[in-house]
Structure 1
């Protein structure tokens, strides 16, 4: 949980700094991009789950 809070705070700081120096934010502008990032994370978690049983 602590890691998620720190990641969120880092994201807020980076977003603030990018807005301050008038750069585009380093994030996908569309829902499809956000879902793609979620899919990569879900695929990683699926591999961790499957490998715990099949790749002993």
Structure 2
């Protein structure tokens, strides 16, 4: 839970600084960005499953 909270705080600070300097947000559009992050996570988990199941 601590890592989630620290990630949220870090994101808020980065977003604030980018807005302060009137820079574009350092992330892809909302929904495609979220789906991309979920895909990366699922791919990482899939590799762990494949490695544990087939590469023993």
TM-score by length of 2: 0.77
RMSD: 1.5
**Equivalents in 1 of 2:45, 2:17: separation in Å?**
31
**Equivalents in 2 of 1:18, 1:4: separation in Å?**
21
Q: What are structure 2's unaligned runs of at least 5 residues?
A: none
Q: What are structure 1's unaligned runs of at least 5 residues?
A: none
- Note the C-alpha offset of 1:6: 0.5
Aligned length: 56
